[in-house]
């Protein structure tokens, strides 16, 4: 069954996937770009919320764990069938890099491990497209040559897009790189695509190849309906018409990046356009084949695969990507039903699942808890480092959102210090309420103590009601439907919440 996995793709492949089960892989992993990517949130009124969800962090450090993984590379490469000389070459290359570019070495070690396992999932007729950019594409090509074999190299596809960047001391950086390899060149599936003749119909008549404003860049669609602003400022409905030429599709693709108003936009910071996935899937797979995206983000590959009648597997390490963004794409845009058309694996559905998530990744557990109560995760790196999140709400007479601070406790039962901590948050920060979420329910005596201490924090008057300033819920209670006693959370409740939440912020 089509599956969205939550977790590190390395673990998922090793523990949950089958060898030789995949026909096509597209991966768009972090690029070693040293940026944190955030999703942009707005509330139902359009006001941006002060916090944004950390989608994921694209920064690499050569820590002990990565160093150990690099040392283990020669053995791992051999285990995966790479010949001795090539394995030694790559291992020396990466360990040499640890001296001059430690971050890059950490990144390449991480990617090598995953690429070996990706290869393990691929059928002998399969192909792989590794999406990267010039930050690391030259190094990744060396890794790909070793893992997949130089003779299996298919193409270096250049995705060319228009984008204004600060380019005072160099040329504009306007392209990404797709490194395409076959598992076994010659045996791989490849459906020849033709360069398309561009022709657009819009309400004022037929136009061919002449529309300004970048529309002629839509060269690889079957059929696209879009609303585009043309130079004059008039909005027109444009329908792409397919027309084939004899020429094969070249390896430079002009496809616009998603503009902030694009219909397909979900506000996942690194979302790729469907138009990029379309030719990859059409060329390198057939109907019914399995397409695998190990770093699927907001599931662009999944949508493209589904529309082209392929089966699919997606995987992402960010719970927000799977639980909210990708799932929304599947239900709202593709009208797929969880359980019937696809399944989600790894996102807790009960207390045992929550406990397993805590053990596996405390930070993701915190994110999951915060989202369960309609809160927003604090952008931060480690578990147990300050407030874990906030639930925003409107307070009559206040222009800005007020909030409930959230503290999540997973591995151990709560102690008096947690209540004390929340008390100091209430006193010293501009926060109206504080909520504690615990995985483990406190014993009866302890619970009574907490209730007493929490009651000391008093009540807050919001509108015509009083609410307890400090509250506690267990994960089991929340899963059973309990909610904090507070005004309706902003951005996450009421009709149309999902839609409003994901509309782009101005300038996003």
Ligand X SMILES: C[S@@+](CC[C@H](N)C(=O)[O-])C[C@H]1O[C@@H](n2cnc3c(N)ncnc32)[C@H](O)[C@@H]1O
CB of 236 or CB of 371, closer to ligand X: 371
Of 174, 146, 143, 180, nearest to 161 by C-alpha is: 174
Q: How far is the CB of 270 from ligand X (least distance, A)?
A: 4
Q: With respect to ligand X, which residue has the nearer C-beta, 321 or 419?
A: 321
Q: Does 348 bind ligand X (CB under 6 A)?
A: no
Least separation in angstroms between residue 400's CB and ligand X is: 30
With CB under 6 A as the contact rule, which of the stretches 146-154, 229-237, 247-255, 313-321 interacts with ligand X?
Answer: 313-321
Residues 291, 312 contacting (CB under 8 angstroms) = yes
> Which of 8, 500 has the CB closer to ligand X?
8
266 in Cβ contact with 298 (< 8 Å) = yes
- Both tokens of 42, joined, read 């707005």
Pairing assessment for the beta strands 175-182 and 153-160 based on DSSP bridges: antiparallel
Phi and psi angles of residue 392, each rounded to the nearest 5 degrees, phi first: -95, 150
Cβ at position 110, least distance to ligand X in Å: 8
Which part of the chain contacts ligand X (CB under 6 A), choosing from 42-50, 81-89, 251-259, 294-302? 294-302
Q: Which of 30, 74, 410, 487 binds ligand X (CB under 6 A)?
A: 30
d(CA 143, CA 150): 10
Give the residue with the Cβ less far from ligand X, 9 or 486.
9
CB of 274 to ligand X, least distance (A): 9
Distance in Å, CB of 29 to ligand X, minimum: 6
* The binder of ligand X chosen from 121, 318, 378, 471 (CB under 6 A): 318
Phi, psi of 264 (to 5 degrees): -80, 0
Selection from 455, 481, 478 nearest residue 466 by Cα: 455
Q: Which residues pair with 179 in a beta bridge?
A: 130, 156
159 binding ligand X? (CB under 6 A)? no
- Interaction between residue 9 and ligand X (CB under 6 A): yes
**Alpha carbon 258 to chain centroid distance?**
16
User: Of the candidates 23, 28, 407, 418, which one interacts with ligand X according to CB under 6 A?
Assistant: 28
**Residue 185 beta carbon to ligand X: minimum distance, rounded to whole angstroms:** 25
Write out the two tokens for 244. 């084939």
To ligand X, the closest distance from the beta carbon of 469 in angstroms equals 35
**Nearest distance in Å: CB 225, ligand X:** 20
* Beta-strand relationship, 402-409 and 389-393: antiparallel
Residue nearest to ligand X (CB): 297
Residues in region 44-73 near ligand X by CB under 6 A: 56
Please state, in angstroms and rounded to a whole number, the distance separating the CA atoms of residues 148 and 165. Answer: 34
Task: State yes or no: residue 267 binds ligand X (CB under 6 A).
Answer: no
The verdict on 268 binding ligand X (CB under 6 A) reads yes
Residue 271 interacts with ligand X (CB under 6 A): yes or no: yes
Closest CA to 476 of 352, 347, 323: 352
* Min separation Cβ 126 and ligand X, Å: 19
Nearer to ligand X, 53 or 354 (CB): 53
Q: Does 25 bind ligand X (CB under 6 A)?
A: no
Percentage helix, strand, coil, to 5, in the chain? Answer: 35, 25, 40
Q: How many residues bind ligand X (CB under 6 A)?
A: 20
Q: Is 41 in the site for ligand X (CB under 6 A)?
A: no
**Terminal Cα-to-Cα distance of the chain (whole angstroms):** 35
Contacting residue, 42, 141, 272, 329, with ligand X by CB under 6 A: 272
Q: Is 406 helix (H, G, I), strand (E, B) or coil?
A: strand
Quick one: 289 or 293, whose CB is closer to ligand X? 293
Sign of CA dihedral 243, 245, 248, 250: negative
Q: What are phi and psi of 166, to 5 degrees?
A: -75, 110
What does the alpha-carbon distance between residue 476 and residue 370 come to, in Å, rounded to a whole number? Answer: 14
Q: Which stretch binds ligand X (CB under 6 A): 13-21, 23-31, 452-460, 486-494?
A: 23-31
Among 298, 308, 377, 406, contact with ligand X (rule: CB under 6 A):
298
Q: Could you count the other beta carbons within 10 Å of the beta carbon of residue 205?
A: 6
d(CA 142, CA 257): 27
270 binds ligand X (CB under 6 A): yes
Could you list the residues that contact ligand X (CB under 6 A)? Answer: 8-9, 28-30, 56, 268, 270-272, 294-295, 297-298, 300, 315-318, 321
């Amino acid at each position: 069954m089509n599956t969205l996995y939550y977790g590190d793709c390395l673990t998922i492949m090793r523990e949950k996937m089958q060898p030789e089960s995949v026909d096509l892989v597209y991966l768009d992993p972090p690029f070693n770009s040293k940026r944190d990517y955030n999703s942009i949130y707005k509330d139902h009124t359009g006001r941006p919320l002060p916090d944004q969800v950390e989608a994921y962090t694209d920064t690499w450090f050569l820590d002990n764990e990565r160093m150990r993984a690099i040392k283990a590379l020669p053995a791992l490469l051999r285990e995966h069938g790479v010949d001795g000389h090539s394995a030694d070459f790559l291992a020396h290359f990466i360990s040499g890099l640890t001296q001059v570019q430690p971050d890059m070495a950490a990144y390449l070690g991480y990617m090598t491990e995953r690429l070996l396992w990706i290869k393990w999932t691929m059928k002998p007729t399969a192909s792989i497209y590794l999406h990267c950019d010039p930050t690391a594409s030259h190094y990744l090509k060396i890794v790909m040559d070793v893992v997949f074999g130089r003779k299996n190299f298919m193409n270096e596809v250049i995705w060319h897009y228009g984008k204004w960047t600060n380019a005072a001391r160099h040329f504009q950086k306007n392209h990404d790189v797709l490194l395409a390899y076959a598992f076994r060149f010659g045996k791989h599936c490849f459906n020849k695509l033709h360069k398309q003749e561009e022709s657009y119909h819009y309400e004022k008549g037929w136009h061919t190849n002449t529309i300004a404003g970048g529309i002629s860049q839509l060269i690889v669609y079957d059929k696209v309906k879009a609303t585009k602003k043309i130079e004059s400022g008039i909005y027109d409905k444009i329908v792409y018409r397919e027309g084939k030429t004899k020429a094969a599709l070249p390896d430079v693709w002009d496809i616009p990046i998603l503009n902030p108003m694009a219909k397909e936009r979900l506000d996942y910071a690194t979302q790729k356009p469907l138009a990029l996935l379309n030719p990859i899937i059409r060329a390198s797979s057939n109907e019914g084949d399995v397409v695998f995206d190990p770093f699927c983000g907001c599931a662009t590959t999944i949508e493209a695969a589904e529309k082209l009648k392929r089966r699919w597997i997606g995987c992402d390490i960010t719970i927000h990507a799977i639980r909210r963004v990708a799932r929304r794409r599947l239900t709202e845009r593709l009208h797929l039903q969880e359980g019937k058309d696809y399944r989600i694996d790894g996102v807790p559905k009960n207390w045992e699942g929550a406990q397993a998530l805590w053990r596996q990744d405390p930070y993701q557990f915190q994110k999951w808890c915060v989202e369960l109560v309609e809160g927003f995760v604090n952008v931060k790196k480690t578990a147990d480092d300050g407030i874990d999140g906030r639930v925003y709400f409107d307070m009559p007479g206040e222009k800005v959102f007020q909030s409930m601070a959230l503290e999540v406790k997973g591995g151990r039962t709560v102690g008096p210090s947690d209540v004390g901590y929340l008390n100091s948050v209430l006193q010293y920060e501009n926060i109206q309420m504080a909520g504690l979420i615990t995985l483990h329910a406190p014993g009866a005596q302890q619970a009574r103590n907490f209730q007493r201490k929490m009651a000391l924090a008093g009540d807050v008057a919001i509108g015509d009601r009083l609410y307890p300033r400090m509250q506690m819920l267990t994960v089991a209670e929340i899963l059973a439907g309990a909610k904090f006693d507070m005004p309706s959370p902003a951005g996450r409740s009421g009709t149309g919440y999902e839609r409003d939440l994901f509309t782009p912020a101005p300038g996003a």
